[in-house]
């Protein structure tokens, strides 16, 4: 896989079979970061082998940690010693999740020098929430060149932290920094996404007492001597949502397993408003080929709004995909992306394919469907928009090319191979 790779997709084919989702990348990345909290061995299974995981492993390796793949999707990490607390700026440019190394390094070493993180350009992604929570724990921060220099001059202190927004990575950093404090830390207005619940499970198994996992109020009692652990990453609910969308708009029969109902309920609920019906039997989800794909109007036949938000609202990472579904559903819907002001900046590509969309402003788009789409030569601007364009290309008449396939590779493991196995006409070029 290189940055020059493209996907070639011939539209009009159905998919079928059983799809096994990989582990949640947004859980795996903070869990890899959390392995730095202990000098003992950590085993993490069901880790997706994607570009962002590779970048994170390179980062912890540059800090002195040893890591290896024990099996296809199982990692062994041992940070018996940390050789530096200054992160490599070139590696940090490659991945947004580099910021997640601040919390564990502060907990273990009391200091860190970290450059601004990279990642998708989907709008301003502020770091204030991280630094405000660190300050509450007695950590000072100043800029030196292009580095944020964080230091706990008098050790990390117990605190009551109020996050000014329920930031996922802000919550994760506060959790990991708190893990090294013997006293009590309370995090209010915390994020509660499935990946944060996974991180709480891992920290608990390492010796941290946590109450409130899955809620917006976390109480943490840390431990100076955290132990190693063996943990498993949950299935990626975003990948599951992506495949539900692909199966529904191609009118295909598809089984997805394993799934965890409480992690996909908000997705299934909102997809139903776009006309997608699924059946769930324990850990098995089935999408049938007889989808009506008709948007459910609000009471009084008013045009409905599908909006994202912090968990358990509809996930922001599926907004782009919901927009593509709406292009194939009968009716009109307002898609409201509240969280990132550049997430919608791929809509012009769908319009060029024949979709009827009015981009009202950076956050809102009105979609009128269904529309017949035609193949185009496209480029993926970010992970989720890239997946949305791939789904659109699967029903477009003709052969589409999607450049910047490496963007999609950052979030979906070997997607071309796995979708080809299901019957999609897709090749990597």
Catalytic residues: 120
- C-alpha 116, offset from chain centre: 19
Neighbours of 180 (CB within 10 A): 25
Q: How many residues does the chain have?
A: 429
Distance between CA atoms of 305 and 299, rounded to whole angstroms? 12
CA distances from 199 to 32, 75, 134 (A): 10, 16, 18
291, with CB counted inside 10 A (0-12, 13-18, 19+), is buried
Distance between CA atoms of 129 and 171, rounded to whole angstroms? 9
Strands of the sheet with 41-45, listed across from one edge: 66-71, 74-78, 41-45, 229-232
| DSSP of 230-293 | EEEPPB-HHHHHHHHHHHHHTT-EEEE-S--HHHHHHHHHHHHHTT--EEEETTEEEE-S----
3-state secondary structure of 53: helix
3-state secondary structure of 75: strand
The b/e string for 199-224 (b: 16+ C-beta within 10 A; e otherwise) is: bbbbbbebbbebebbeebebebbbbe
Distance between CA atoms of 242 and 265, rounded to whole angstroms? 14
Distance between CA atoms of 65 and 105, rounded to whole angstroms? 12
Sequence-distant (6+) residues with CB within 8 A of 299 are none
Task: Note whether 418 and 36 are within 8 A (CB).
Answer: no
Q: For residue 319, what are its two tokens?
A: 């907004």
281, with CB counted inside 10 A (0-12, 13-18, 19+), is exposed
Distance between CA atoms of 408 and 416, rounded to whole angstroms? 10
């Amino acid at each position: 896989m290189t940055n020059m790779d493209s996907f070639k997709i011939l539209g009009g084919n159905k998919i079928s079979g059983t799809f096994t989702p990989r582990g949640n990348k947004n859980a795996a990345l903070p869990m890899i970061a959390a392995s730095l909290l202990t000098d003992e061995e950590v085993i993490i299974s069901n880790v997706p082998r994607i570009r962002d995981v590779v970048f994170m492993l390179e980062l912890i390796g540059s800090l002195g940690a040893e890591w290896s793949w024990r099996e296809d999707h199982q990692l062994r990490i041992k940070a018996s010693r940390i050789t530096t607390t200054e992160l490599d700026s070139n590696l940090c440019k490659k991945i947004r999740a580099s910021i997640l190394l601040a919390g564990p390094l502060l907990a273990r070493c009391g200091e860190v020098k970290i450059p601004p993180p990279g990642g998708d350009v989907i709008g301003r992604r502020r770091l204030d929430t991280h630094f405000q929570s660190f300050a509450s724990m007695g950590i000072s921060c100043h800029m030196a060149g292009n580095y944020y220099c964080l230091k706990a001059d008098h050790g990390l202190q117990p605190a009551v932290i109020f996050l000014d927004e329920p930031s996922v990575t802000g919550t994760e950093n506060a959790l990991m920094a708190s893990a090294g404090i013997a006293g009590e830390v309370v995090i209010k207005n915390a994020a509660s996404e499935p990946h944060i619940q996974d991180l709480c499970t891992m920290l608990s198994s390492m010796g941290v007492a946590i109450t409130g996992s899955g809620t917006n109020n976390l109480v943490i009692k840390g431990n100076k001597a955290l132990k190693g652990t063996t943990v498993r990453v949950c299935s990626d609910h975003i990948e599951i949502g992506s495949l539900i969308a692909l199966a529904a708009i191609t009118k295909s029969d598809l089984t997805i397993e394993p799934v965890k109902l409480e992690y996909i309920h908000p997705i299934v609920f909102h997809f139903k408003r776009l006309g997608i019906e699924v059946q769930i039997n324990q850990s098995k989800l089935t999408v049938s080929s007889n989808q009506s794909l008709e948007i459910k109007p609000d009471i009084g036949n008013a045009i409905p709004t599908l909006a994202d938000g912090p968990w358990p609202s509809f996930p922001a990472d599926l907004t782009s995909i919901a927009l593509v579904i709406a292009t194939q559903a009968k009716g009109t819907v307002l898609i409201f992306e509240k969280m990132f002001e550049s997430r919608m900046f791929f809509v012009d590509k769908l319009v060029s394919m024949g979709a009827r969309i009015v981009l009202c402003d950076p956050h809102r788009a009105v979609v009128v469907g269904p529309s017949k789409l035609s193949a185009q030569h496209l480029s993926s601007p970010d992970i989720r928009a890239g997946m949305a364009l791939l789904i659109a290309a699967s029903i477009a008449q003709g052969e589409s090319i999607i450049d910047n396939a490496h963007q999609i590779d950052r979030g979906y493991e070997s997607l071309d191979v796995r979708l080809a196995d299901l019957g999609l006409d897709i090749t990597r070029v």
